[in-house]
Amino acid sequence: MREVLAEAAFQLFIDHGFERTTVDDIVARAGVGRRSFFRYFPSKEDAVFPDHERCLADMTAFLDAASDGRDAVDVVCDGARIVLRMYAANPEFSVQRYRLTREVPGLRTYELSVVRRYERTLAGYLRRRWDGAADGPLRAEVVAASVVAAHNNGLRSWLRSGGEGDAEEAVGHAFDLVRQVWGGAGGSPSAGADEEVVVMVAAKGAPMWRVIQQVESALRND
């Protein structure tokens, strides 16, 4: 029933526009009563994004179950991938919805609220992982925002291309940039006197991101 309503609503939004479609139009097309609509969706906007609530629940469950032995930044990247897969599972619908959302200010605002909820969920996980660390809450918010921005950059590229190509690859590439600078920050290992060391040489004045790339490859590879 929920799916039937969402499909009826979406088709009407595409055919006649979001603003001009009423809830009465939707229930007439779906062949149900008006109250059924509001049982499933608090508003017309919610019917455009029927999967975000489930996706948020999936993300929360994934983060709750993640091992503390894993790098915290890797975990939140994987958490964000749950959202990506929801989009990638239905390219045609996702692309149409992307175009619709660009045109309707109310839908863009709704989307911002949803994105903010994902960001808060990821930040909450990082805050727990970095509890007691210096600037833990600050780092949690900045890293969550970075991960969400990287995710959305990859996702948008894929949506703009009309859903062609590999969405996972686009987002994975974007995550690499974030993991390069923030990854390992929540790792448990701490340096001991007898640990292996790596020596690196960098030019003064080299761009910081390039130095980080060098340090990372030196630290990660043998």
The two tokens of residue 206 are 């080299």
The two tokens of residue 161 are 């291309």
Nearer Cβ to a second copy (65/134) = 134
What is the 3-class SS of 126-148, one letter each residue?
HHHHCCCCCCHHHHHHHHHHHHH
Distance from C-alpha of 145 to C-alpha of 115, rounded to nearest angstrom? 10
b/e code 69-80 from CB counts within 10 Å (16+ = b): eebbbbbbbebb
Q: How far is the CB of 56 from a second copy (least distance, A)?
A: 16
- Binding segment for a second copy (CB under 8 A), chosen from 19-27, 54-62, 141-149, 160-168, is 141-149
Q: Which of 84, 148, 159, 167 touches a second copy by CB under 8 A? A: 148
Contacts to a second copy from residues 97-116, by CB under 8 A: 108-109, 112-113, 116
Q: Which of 15, 5, 10 is nearest to 35 (CA)?
A: 5
Q: Is 187 in the site for a second copy (CB under 8 A)?
A: yes
Q: Is 28 in the site for a second copy (CB under 8 A)?
A: no
Binding site for a second copy (CB under 8 A): 108-109, 112-113, 116, 135, 137-139, 141-142, 144-146, 148-150, 152-154, 173-174, 177-178, 180-187, 189-192, 195-209, 211-212, 215-216, 219
